[in-house]
A and B are shown apart, each in its own frame.
Chain A
């Protein structure tokens, strides 16, 4: 089992733990964002209302 001593970073949009900000890659970014939410913000991807066809 490995333990990390580095502080965790969470996406400001979805609260998931991420390695770092996908937008600026600045470890001290005040509004880190994950790749998925970045694609939503730039409209390169569209959030799906549900995970399966309906």
Chain B
């Protein structure tokens, strides 16, 4: 549909038309700008913490554990130099010997979610599967941030409250 829409816009006289070949889902997954009613609702990319602690494969557990705790977290995302997610360190993974490398300790290939995913949907998933936090990444696997269940629940509550307020405004 997109190439035909682009050609049609040109035929209507628009002269600055671009066709994003990878498609709408790729655009959304990259966390790029969007408009519309749904764009007003916070998504995972906006709710996650971009400054959540990270670690690289060659670091050692003792150093990383201290850094994670100092940041007020109990989970750390393992990334490479391009910030591509390689693994996750949950509390149980952080308990090992200080000299253990992150590569040895981590849980590789964690499940990740795209920035445009709704926070309410994620909050429900995290409750159903008892997940304390999830990495949010672009379609290329680059870390956007870490979304905790507490944060997801808080934002989901705000969304429900806002929807109720809008509903009440319409009623009166």
Contacts and interface: CB of A to CB of B under 8 A. Distances in A.
Nearest to B117: A42
Interface of B: 25, 29, 107, 110-111, 113-114, 116-118, 121-122, 125, 128-131
21 contacts: A23-B111, A23-B125, A24-B111, A24-B129, A24-B131, A25-B110, A25-B111, A26-B130, A29-B129, A31-B128, A38-B125, A42-B117, A42-B118, A42-B121, A43-B118, A44-B25, A44-B29, A44-B114, A44-B116, A44-B117, A45-B25
Contact of B125 (A25, A42, A45): A42
Given A23-B125, A44-B116, 5 more contacts: A22-B111, A26-B130, A38-B125, A43-B117, A44-B114
Interface of A: 21-26, 29, 31, 38, 41-45
B130 A24 contact: yes
B25 A23 contact: no
- CB-based closest 9 A-B pairs: A24-B129, A42-B117, A23-B129, A24-B131, A42-B121, A31-B128, A23-B111, A44-B114, A23-B125
